[in-house]
């Protein structure tokens, strides 16, 4: 028997880049939820401050989201 | 006994893409829960602000959900 | 048989550096969400304190973000 057959029979395949994105999406997923959740509660408390709240809400969303999208780019860097 | 039998008896098979989606679904799962949880609390506090709350609730839900759906697409990118 | 064949046929490909970044992005993702979420709620509570809140919000964001960006640099250190 050959080692080729041994390796072919391990049965696990795939690229670690996908796992890396999966891990990188955990944190921003919770973070975006926190940003929107607290923003909506702030809007209900002071509806007249909505322009400021919405502005900072999307700022926080963008700065959280960039961590997940970096996880999509990083596997190409370490290829 | 041969190494082929050894390898065949490990019993683990599959693609890492499924693991990647599973990991990517952890964060948005918590995040969407946070968005809806805080939104419902805001609705109960100020029922007259419900149109604004519902609008921003679905906005936050969509922007959280996209992270999990990206985890479904990413294994095809890194195939 | 050669070790080259063994390595080529395992079916898992990719670099652990990407997985490392993915792990490093979990914590900052949650942390940045906490910083922005609580800051937005503080702005809605006391709009007149907004310059101080925004200043400290970006301070907290930067000190959280640096952990994720270190995860991008570390695989080059341990290459």
Provide the pLDDT confidence category of residue A2 given band limits of 50, 70 and 90. low
CATH topology of domain B3-77: F1FO ATP Synthase (1.20.20)
Token couple for B50: 């419900």
The structural domains of chain A, with segments of one domain joined by +, span 3-77
pTM over 0.80: yes
**Which value does ipTM take for this structure?**
0.83
Q: How distant is the Cα of C45 from the closest Cα of chain B, in angstroms?
A: 14
Query: For chain A, give me the number of helices (H) and strands (E)?
Result: 4, 1
**Contact (CB<8Å) A29/C29:** yes
Cα–Cα–Cα angle for C12, A79, C8, rounded to 5 degrees: 35
The confidence score (pLDDT) of residue A1 equals 47
SS3 assignment, position B47: helix
The confidence score (pLDDT) of residue B19 equals 93
Q: Given C12, C14, C29, which is nearest B27 (Cβ)?
A: C29
Q: Given A7, A41, A68, which is nearest C41 (Cβ)?
A: A41
Tell me if chain A has a CB within 8 Å of the CB of C74. no
Mean pLDDT of chain A: 87
The confidence score (pLDDT) of residue B59 equals 94
Q: Tens digit of pLDDT for each residue in C27-49?
A: 999 999 999 999 999 999 998 99
Tell me if chain A has a CB within 8 Å of the CB of C33. yes
Please give the C-alpha separations between residue C69 and each of C20, C77, C79, in angstroms, as whole numbers. 11, 13, 17
Mutation target to probe the A interface, by most A beta carbons within 10 A, among C27, C30, C44 is C44
Q: Given A12, A15, A28, which is nearest B67 (Cβ)?
A: A28
Return d(Cα B31, Cα B60) in angstroms, integer: 9
List chains adjacent to chain A, taking adjacency as at least 3 C-beta pairs closer than 8 Å: B, C
Beta bridge partners of residue A12, listed in sequence order: B14
Residue pair A28/C25 in contact (Cβ under 8 Å)? The answer is yes
Mean pLDDT of chain B: 88
**Contact (CB<8Å) C29/A68:** yes
Tell me if chain C has a CB within 8 Å of the CB of B76. no
- Write out chain B residues lying below 8 Å of A15, CB-based: 16-17, 75, 78-79
Provide the pLDDT confidence category of residue A9 given band limits of 50, 70 and 90. low
- Write out chain A residues lying below 8 Å of B4, CB-based: 1, 5-6, 9
Provide the pLDDT confidence category of residue C11 given band limits of 50, 70 and 90. confident
Residue pair B4/A1 in contact (Cβ under 8 Å)? The answer is yes
**Contact (CB<8Å) B31/A34:** yes
């Amino acid at each position: 028997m050959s080692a080729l057959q041994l390796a072919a029979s391990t049965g696990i395949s795939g690229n670690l880049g996908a796992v890396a994105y999966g891990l990188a999406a955990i944190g921003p997923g919770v973070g975006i939820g926190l940003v929107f959740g607290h923003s909506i509660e702030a809007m209900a408390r002071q509806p007249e401050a909505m322009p400021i709240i919405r502005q900072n809400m999307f700022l926080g969303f963008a700065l959280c989201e960039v961590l997940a999208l970096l996880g999509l780019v990083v596997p190409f860097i370490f290829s």
